[in-house]
Structure 1
Amino acid sequence: MSSHLHLQRKRSKLKRSITARMVEVVKSEFVVPSVETPRHSIWASNLDLAARRGYTPTVYFYRPNGDSNFFSVDILKSALAKALVRFYPLAGRLGLDREGRIEINCTGEGAVFVVARSEYTLEDLDDFAPSNEMRDLFVPPAPSADPPCPLLMLQVTFLKCGGVVLGTAMHHTVIDARSASHFIETWATVTRAGSADAVTPPFFDHSLLRARSPPAVLYDHPEYKPEPIPISSRLGAAYSSAILPLSKTHVDLLKLRCCASGDARVSTFRAIVALLWRCVVRARKLQPETPSRLYTMIDMRSRMSPPLPTNYIGNAVIRTSVVATADELAAKPLGYAAKKLRSATNQGDEFARSLIDYLESVDMMKLPRSGVSNADLRVISWLGMSMYDADFGWGEPAFMGPALMYYPGFVNILNSPKRDGSVSIVISLEPESMPSFKRLFMEELGGLDVQNEII
């Protein structure tokens, strides 16, 4: 059986299971901090308000290890209650201040904790590709993302094979990917070691990202402006998703190929995205003169002046982008796209401050949040984050990634579970574009022994 047909049949099985209700919720409850925590409100920065108003669903897959206490619900809940003492805002609710501005209300009402069981085995899910079905199966259903709503929802699903899926849904208004990773690492450490002493405490003062007075908008910020001609929303549009492994050897060869165009050094992110961008525009069969915009996010913690604390919990990321025509990306050497990406990834404090000041004067409800056009691509990097430190005492996850993709043209790049420099690329595209993209991607990888491209 071909791998493509095998994947199609597994996806069909997933879809059938929703109807068959093959995940049974055993219990749903709130877990509150183990001791009394402060009751107050936390101001939300403009970067928090500009983030997508919704939950970010992720899934962690664990193989059974024979321990009789494997993912003991009592142990997990006790550790969660202790972790929420440090992360007490996550036990609160999204709220509004007197002016109607979003804020975090630290109420101590607790995080949603769901226990479920399923007839699935890890073998049934071994491609781990995100989908609407994956999210519906293994992540708690999201209520309205508007105030008042929980900020943290968790689901532990016990599989027929003895494995476990941990699904998480954290409200993006109050937490970005690095913040979420910090919380999971804290919870796992408490479960495994009994305390969080080995993990840096979180930092919740968002006033470090307050707008200046008077504001000074020194840059254009097209990523935060409505489209001149609004595109139809792509949220919820049909997509095909895949997880593509990239070995360390492939990563190193990609970087060398980009450097052959004149750069002394090219980052892993730029080298990978250059290849993805080229293959996507080719697979979509765009007209040569069609502009393609590549959107990405930059973590500004270390780029601010002075730097934000590394343990800053909140949204400390900004959107940036770069544009090239389909013909430029398809016809020019790979290093061309890597060089274009540099301008989207080298922003510093003044650019971020300009953005924060710009957001002070706009209607946050009119910011573009509906997806990207069918010529564009949005790439999120989780490289360098401690996603695989989520060891609760029963071993590291076999895989961790997003539970679903929001629309076609969305990409996550993350470290692979091997911890050997290899990378996992999670991508969603229009169903009609995905087969061609995979073919082009594999052809490009197959030609990486050629190092003589010159711009």
Structure 2
Amino acid sequence: MADIIKQNTITIKCSNPTKTDDRITCMAVESNTKQFPISMIWVYSNSENLPNADFLPTDQLKTTLSDTLNYFPILAGRATEDTKGNITIHLTNEGVLFTEATCPNHTLDYFIPRMPQDEEFDYEHINTSDLAVKVSTDCTGPCTSIQVTRLKCNSVILSISAFHCLMDAQSMSRFINTWASNKPPKALPMFDKTFVLYPTEQQRQTINLLTRPKNCVFNRDFNLSPSSAFIEIQQQQRVICKVYFFSANELKNLKTEASKGLSESIDYISTYDALFAHLILVIAAATQTSLKDNIKVLQSLNGRPRFVSSCSSAVLNYFGSFPFWLYAEIPSEREPTLSSLAQLIHEMHSKQSEHSLRDYNAYLMSGDGDIQKNRVDADIINRDLYCGSWRKENLLDANFGNSGFPVYSGPTQQLYPRYFPMMDTHKKDGSINILLGLREQDYERMMQQNLLHKYR
């Protein structure tokens, strides 16, 4: 077991704060993430064996963090919640938490135990080690927390935990890359949320008449069942969690196979569509899940690019949490194939536009505007399947001077049996890491079936 010895946590504030009486009210799609904090790590290998004081030096990290917060003041603010569940961030410059820690008894190999010529590794020691100071989800205290853990070999694991209303993968990438560069961002972050709202008064008056959008995971009209997603349940078996590596060539073979037999309405299948579909079939076989039993497929969609045509390219610089949580049911009348699943996944996100996403956000505020009535209508612990893609977000580009690029980036912890993040690898050649946890019996079944890498 890793001994993580933490020093006293301090608070880092903006070095040059502007107005500290400003506030920003989150949009509905952001306020609905408040119960799900986001926590990520970046692993830096001290391959040149630099002294502890010279590799990601603490004083420099603190100084550059303080300067970086000038461009992201929302992270140093504090959150409040109104009676209807809406979150407001007050730009008070009360600061982010900063904790320095040491792990005197383990080196990098303990956390990323890669064997020679093997890009896959067990996630157990990352899951079970205290690598982060988590932020609270009840709107008390700081919205952002950073921990720097120095290992026995002087390598470093840097974690960022944040109130999910403030950050998604793209926002976190913008922040850490700006911090690492120690330079102002090339394009200033945009905090204005009005682009996602209905632009005219007549449209705004239709909010109460909105029905649930077809692909919206949230439902305002059902009671939360004991088996619903994110309810704490007692695991019957331990979850074996590993990072699985898919090479560029393996993905090419997989994409070719998934592109066979598509309907005329689909122009192409992406690597994401094909790999997601493949993992559904693998997990279904491992967990003995019938895909003809009204199983839901969930995915997150980054909303920024959809608004460029109707608004401005500036929305690509929007700093906040802007994933739309989509779902579709697998048709039950026939056994799904790799191609049919890839097509289903592709259509879910390709049909979204700025109009459908505005309806989605507005639906979350419909009725009496009580956001707390929104419920996740899915069960990704026992039944449904969910992939969140963090690819192409430049999460592996954060080079803190002599740190080099991180050798790995991913969640601080990951144990959900049917949720699998899709991430870029350090190779930057189009290869992909999948982080997947399966109950022990299901994991053993997956290994026996030898389906995971059938396209190598």
Short-chain TM bin: 0.7 to 0.9
Contact 2:425–2:433 (Cα < 8 Å) also in 1: yes
Where does residue 386 of structure 1 map in the other structure? 394
C-alpha displacement of 1:423: 0.3
SS in structure 2 at match of 1:27? coil
Over 3 Å counting, the alpha-carbon distance change for 1:162 and 1:168 in structure 2 is: same
Within 1, Cα distance between the matches of 2:269 and 2:84? 46
Equivalent residue for 1:148? 140
1:124 correspondence with 2:119? no
1:223/1:320 contact within 8 Å kept: yes
| Map of 1:232 onto structure 2 | 227
SS of residue matched to 2:356: helix
Q: After alignment, is 403-412 or 164-173 more displaced?
A: 403-412
Contact 1:132 1:404 in 2 (8 A): no
Q: Which residue pairs with 1:420 in the alignment?
A: 429
1:186-229 C-alpha deviation (Å, 9 max, x unpaired): 11111xxxx225x3221111222235512353633551016567
Aligned to 1:4: none
Q: Deviations over 1:83-112 (max 9, x none)?
A: 001111101111246987320011101110
Please tell me the residue identity of whatever aligns with 1:73: T
1:344 matches 2:325: no
On the 8 A contact 1:296/1:321 being kept in 2, the answer is: yes
**CA–CA separation in structure 2 for the residues paired with 1:283 and 1:379:** 17
C-alpha distance in structure 1 between counterparts of 2:225 and 2:371, whole Å: 16
**Which residue of structure 2 aligns with residue 56 of structure 1?**
38
Residue 367 (structure 1) shift: 2.6
Runs of 4+ in 1 over 4 A off after TM superposition: 97-100, 127-133, 226-229, 325-328
Partner of 1:171: 163
> Whole-Å Cα distance in 2 between the matches of residues 100 and 443 of structure 1?
44
Residue equivalent to 1:451: none
Alignment of structure 1 residues 80-91 onto 2, 5 Å:
80-91=65-76
Distance of 2:215 and 2:277 partners within structure 1: 22
Q: How does 1:12-161 map to 2 (within 5 A)?
A: 14=1, 17=2, 22-39=3-20, 40-64=22-46, 65-68=48-51, 69-96=54-81, 101-118=86-103, 119-127=105-113, 129-130=122-123, 134=127, 136-142=129-135, 144-161=136-153
Aligned to 1:243: 243
Aligned to 1:8: none
Equivalent pair of 1:152/1:171 in contact (CA under 8 Å): yes
> In 2, Cα distance between the equivalents of 1:446 and 1:155?
39
How far apart are the structure 2 equivalents of 1:373 and 1:231? 11
Task: Please report how far the alpha carbon of residue 388 of structure 1 lies from its aligned counterpart in structure 2 after TM superposition.
Answer: 0.6
- The letter for the 2-side match of 1:273 is F
Amino acid at match of 2:321: N
The answer (yes or no) to whether the contact 1:274–1:337 under 8 Å persists in 2 is yes
Q: CA deviation at 1:446?
A: 2.9
Report the aligned-residue RMSD.
2.5
- Cα separation, partners in 2 of 1:288 and 1:416, compared to 1, 3 Å: closer
Q: Tell me if structure 1 keeps the 8 A contact 2:39–2:134.
A: no
Equivalents in 2 of 1:267, 1:124: separation in Å?
35
In the alignment, the residues of structure 1 paired with residue 91 and residue 125 of structure 2 have an alpha-carbon distance, to the nearest angstrom, of: 31
Answer yes or no: is the 8 Å Cα contact 1:291–1:325 preserved in 2. Answer: yes
State the partner residue of 2:154. Answer: 162
| Residue 378 (structure 2) pairs with residue 368 (structure 1) | no
Contact 1:130 1:403 in 2 (8 A): no
Q: Structure 2 matches for 1:302-321, cutoff 5 A?
A: 302-304=305-307, 305-307=310-312, 309-321=315-327
Give the secondary structure class of the aligned counterpart of 2:295: strand
How far 1:181 sits from its partner (Å)?
0.8
Q: 1:396-415 residue pairs with structure 2 within 5 A? A: 396-405=405-414, 407-415=416-424
Q: State the Cα deviation string for residues 297-320 of structure 1 (Å, max 9, x = none).
A: 111111123256211011222111
Aligned residues: 420
1:436 aligns with 2:427: no
Matched, 1:359 2:340: no
Letter in 2 for 1:336: S
Aligned pair in 2 of structure 1 residues 431, 325: CA closer, same or farther (>3 Å)? farther
Secondary structure (helix, strand or coil) at the match of 1:75 reads helix
- 2:343 partner amino acid: K
User: Of the candidates 194, 200, 206, which is equivalent to residue 207 of structure 1?
Assistant: 194
Output one character per residue of 1:404-444: Cα deviation in whole Å (capped at 9) or x when no partner.
1253211100111100110000112333222223444x435
Q: Which 10-residue stretch deviates more, 265-274 or 144-153?
A: 144-153
CA contact (8 A) 2:110 2:125 kept: no
Q: Deviations over 1:137-191 (max 9, x none)?
A: 111143x31223211100001100111110110110121111111101111111x
Counterpart of 1:333? 337
Aligned ranges 1:264-279 → 2 under 5 Å = 264-279=267-282
Q: Which moved more, 1:405-414 or 1:159-168?
A: 405-414
Q: For the structure 1 residues 314 and 288, does the alpha-carbon distance in structure 2 shift closer, same or farther, using more than 3 Å as the test? A: closer
Moved more, 261-270 or 409-418: 261-270
Q: Find the aligned partners of 2:83 and 2:328 in 1 and give their Cα distance.
A: 39
1:56 Cα deviation after fit: 1.0
Instruction: Choose from 184, 187, 192 the match for 1:196.
Output: 184
- Distance in 1, matches of 2:155 and 2:412, equals 17
Question: CA distance change for structure 1 residues 51 and 386 in 2, over 3 Å: closer, same or farther?
Answer: same
Matched, 1:183 2:170: no
Shift of 1:364: 2.3
Q: CA deviation at 1:23?
A: 0.6
Cα pair 1:322 1:343 within 8 Å, conserved: no
Q: Which sections of structure 1, spanning at least 5 residues, go unmatched?
A: 1-13, 449-455
Displacement after TM superposition at 1:324 (Å): 1.4
Query: Counterpart amino acid of 1:196?
Result: P
- Whether the 8 Å CA contact 2:71–2:188 is kept in 1: the answer is yes
Deviates more, 1:284-293 or 1:384-393: 284-293
| Aligned mates of 2:305, 2:127 — CA distance in 1 | 34
Alpha-carbon distance in 2 for matches of 1:317, 1:281: 26
Query: What is aligned with 2:255?
Result: 255
> 1:237-269: per-residue Cα shift (whole Å, max 9, x none)?
443311110000011111111112235421111
| Structure 2 spans left out of the alignment, 5+ residues | 114-120
